[in-house]
Amino acid sequence: MIKKEITIEDVLKNLKVARTSHRETLIRNAYAVAKEAHHGQKRKSGEEYIQHALYTALNIAKMGMRSKTISAGLLHDVPEDTSVTLEEVEEKFGSEIAFMVNGVTKLGKIRLRGTKEELYLENLRKMFFAMASDIRVVIIKLADRMHNMETLSALPPDKQKRISLETMEVFAPIANRLGIGEIKGKLEDLAFKYLDCENFELVTNLQKEEYKQSKQYLDKAVLELKQQLLKEGIKVEKIFGRTKHPYRLFQKMKKHDMNIDKIYDLIGIRIIVPDVSSCYETLGIVHNKYRPLVGRIKDYISLPKPNGYQSIHTTIFGPEGKILEVQIRTGQMDDEAEFGIAAHWVYSEKEKKSFKNFFFRKKEQTIPEKELAWVKQLREWQNEIGKDNSEFMEGLKIEFFKNHIFAFTPMGEVIELPEDATPIDFAYKVHSEIGNRATGAKADGKMVTLDYKIRNGQVIDIMTSRDPKRPSRDWLRFVRTSLAKSNIERAFRKESNK
């Protein structure tokens, strides 16, 4: 499929940061070099190659990134596919942009082979080192992958499957961990279309039919809620109806025997208000207007998801008793839900704040270190594991590509774990000695077994032996984290060497 042709003006019009003359000049210069370098090159879709560079840059601009990242996006294929070298890019645009371009080139070598589990591990390592060095490299690669997926119909079926599998198994989960929900959802939907065409068509047709039937009462609920909120003195920045991404809908339907009537958040309303206090006031007003469905309130503002997502979700019986999901959040939360870590470049500029961060060379940067602490942990974890690829991949499958949960120590310290983690995983995350000496555990004050699967938000209390104790070999059967496994195995190696 050939997408509509765009120009550099479309990229500049979509800047979310201030359009200064310095930024515009840099972007236009990068475009001029890319256009000249790619002159005469065409893609399999038949479009001029420069269109791919422009769409990549457009996606980056929409995420709120700044001129250097957009310029690197325009130039990202130049050293690999043209006669212009990386050294020439550095000479014209500086080491920072050249570093990003080089990083994207390395990430371009990632491939899946055989089954979906068999990844080119060394290239994955490069990806994570790139993330730890400069997260913007990965954001450019996600923007690049988005346009590749949108034009995938031009490629033969075997390549469509391979690229879609890479997208579903590698790129969409990375977008999720970065909190870039908009990109994650689009990548999953585009890959779903090629990986399971039959179910893609089934779900999209069901969704269209359901939305057609529901639009009238959805519009009515939006109007009534807006009027009620304004009457109560709440400033409503935005209120609109929304539908679920087809792939996410399919995943939910599978859990309910493909019965769409059991999906409560197929359609919903999103309400954007100015601040956190307005979010909670809005929740009360929504519940006064429409009866809530018991047990369906989720407060991700007080307890955000591990990727930083914040919002209040509630399910209500709307007009004519129809079930609707309502999401309530601030404008910043909405931007961060769509564009994740990239949104911080926009807000940091507005707030004129500066932070020191581990993944940049410069000291004056704009994203709080805590926002990407997991990237730093991943880098340190790789160094600990060394070059054991099988252990790296096993840990990667469990700890990186799965959703994470938060649990708390009795003192209120937050411990991040993969889903299905146990009290033993929790204990080793706190301290190796606590793990080695663990004898029992409580979850929210109640005794649980050591193989208990911890739920998000629980307070976990580990009971320990006062006497020196070695861990049980049986724990290796159920622990989920590489940290717990390596500590247990280390304790037994130490014992056998005595």
Name 441's bridge partners. Answer: 448, 462
127 and 110 in contact (C-beta within 8 Å)? yes
Query: Cα(374)–Cα(216) distance, rounded to whole angstroms?
Result: 44
Determine whether 444 is an active site residue. no
Catalytic residue among 5, 80, 232, 474: 80
Name 316's bridge partners. Answer: 292, 324
**Cα 446 to Cα 89, 405, 412, distances in angstroms:** 61, 19, 17
Strands 298-299 and 323-330: unpaired
DSSP letters along 281-306, please? HHHHHHHHHSPBPTT--EETTTS--T
Catalytic residue among 81, 169, 349, 394: 81
Q: How many of the other CB atoms lie within 10 Å of CB of 442?
A: 17
Mutual angle of helices 343-351 and 331-339, in 10-degree steps:
140
Q: What's the alpha-carbon Rg for the chain, to the nearest Å?
A: 25
428 and 378 in contact (C-beta within 8 Å)? no
327 and 270 in contact (C-beta within 8 Å)? yes
Roughly how many angstroms between the first and final C-alpha of the chain, as a whole number?
66
Which helix or strand (DSSP H or E) is residue 425 part of? helix 423-430
Token pair of 248, please?
Answer: 């996410």
How many angstroms from the chain centroid is the CA of residue 456? Answer: 18
104 and 137 in contact (C-beta within 8 Å)? yes
Q: Which stretches of 232-295 are DSSP H helices?
A: 246-255, 276-289
Query: Cα(343)–Cα(313) distance, rounded to whole angstroms?
Result: 21
Query: Cα(483)–Cα(111) distance, rounded to whole angstroms?
Result: 27
DSSP 112: B
Residues 296, 297, 302: CA angle, nearest 5 degrees: 150
Determine whether 80 is an active site residue. yes
Q: What residue type is 189 in one-letter code?
A: D
Mind telling me the catalytic residues? 80-81
